[in-house]
């Protein structure tokens, strides 16, 4: 949840024109979706449900990173000022990808064992 809050704080201090407002709104949605879906994943009732949610978390974290990088490219945000946030999100993406892979392996192993 901290990442979503930090993302919002970064956006509070900038002037956002009407052409960029949809992009900023999408960034807010994707960053808060990471937090909400991770919370849902931790409350999953099965490995399959956890895997489905962690897939969403991974996708939304990567999308959050994309939108921040895009806003830097169009010079709406200063990359130097948000370097720590970018690093945090990049680390989260890497972590969620690892969790997703491990869970996929676990589910596949379970399927193979049930077939045997």
> pLDDT by residue for the chain (116 residues), tens digit each?
789 999 999 999 889 999 999 999 999 999 999 999 999 999 999 999 999 999 999 999 999 999 999 999 999 999 999 999 999 999 999 999 999 999 999 999 888 777 77
Domain ranges in the chain are: 2-6+20-110
73 CB neighbour count, 10 Å cutoff? 10
Model pLDDT, residue 112 = 76
Looking at residue 47, its pLDDT comes to 93
Provide the token pair at 1: 């949840």
Fold exhibited by the domain 2-6+20-110? de novo design (two linked rop proteins) (1.20.1440)
pLDDT at 34: 96
Residue 88 pLDDT: 95
Burial group, residue 68, by CB count within 10 angstroms (0-12, 13-18, 19+): buried
Q: Which residues contact 4 (CB under 8 A, 6 or more apart)?
A: 31, 32, 34, 35
């Amino acid at each position: 949840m901290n990442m979503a809050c930090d993302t919002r704080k970064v956006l509070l201090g900038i002037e956002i024109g009407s052409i960029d407002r949809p992009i900023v709104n999408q960034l807010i949605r994707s960053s808060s979706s990471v937090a909400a879906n991770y919370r849902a994943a931790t409350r999953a009732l099965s490995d399959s449900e956890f895997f489905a949610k962690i897939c969403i978390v991974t996708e939304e974290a990567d999308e959050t990173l994309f939108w921040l990088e895009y806003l830097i490219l169009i010079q709406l945000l200063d990359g130097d000022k948000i370097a720590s946030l970018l690093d945090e999100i990049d680390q989260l993406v890497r972590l969620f990808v690892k969790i997703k892979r491990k869970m996929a392996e676990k589910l596949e192993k379970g399927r193979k064992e049930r077939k045997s």
